[in-house]
Amino acid sequence: MKTLFAIIFGLFIITASNAKVYERCELALELYNEHSYGRQYLGDWVCMAYYESGLATFVKNPNSYGGNDYGIFQISDHEWCRSPENPDVAECTYDCTSLLDEDINNDAACAVSVQARYGFFAWSGWVNNCQGTNTENWVADCGI
Ligand SMILES: [Ca+2]
């Protein structure tokens, strides 16, 4: 349902701007080549991002803490980025709005911090759809 909402919302936004939606292998290659993500868990990253955001960089959804989750990795303003709803605690130090643009450099860096603390259990999209599956299928044909 969340993904469906993200896709519908995304289609609406795309008509209004050039906001970016990644292809599956495009994301895998960028995380691997430009952000030094390990090969072993690339499938988990792509699967998680698919179910969290539909691989769209501009998705913003309400979270259970009264704030929002932002961007392709749906990073929360509860702990990680700074939003009007949660202006103080921001371990990744930057404004949540910077997680909605087409440049995923800071998204990728922050997601590593989230993953280091909680593993992929930080993301319900991963828990509900990717955990226990053969996530390698998401990147097996990406040539890496
Ligand atoms: Ca960004």
End-to-end CA distance of the chain, in Å?
Answer: 31
- Give me the residue label for tokens 């519908």: 8
101 CA to centre of ligand 1 in angstroms: 5
Active-site residue (options: 34, 52, 91, 136): 52
Residue with the bigger pLDDT between 77 and 9: it is 77
Domains and CATH numbers, the chain: 2-136 (1.10.530.10)
Q: Can you tell me whether residue 73 is helix, strand or coil?
A: coil
Rounded to the nearest 5 percent, the helix, strand and coil shares of the chain are 50, 10, 40
pLDDT digits (tens, 9 = 90+) for 46-104: 999 999 999 999 999 999 999 999 999 999 999 999 999 888 878 998 899 999 999 99
H helices of 64-104, where? none
Residue 60 pairs in a beta bridge with 70
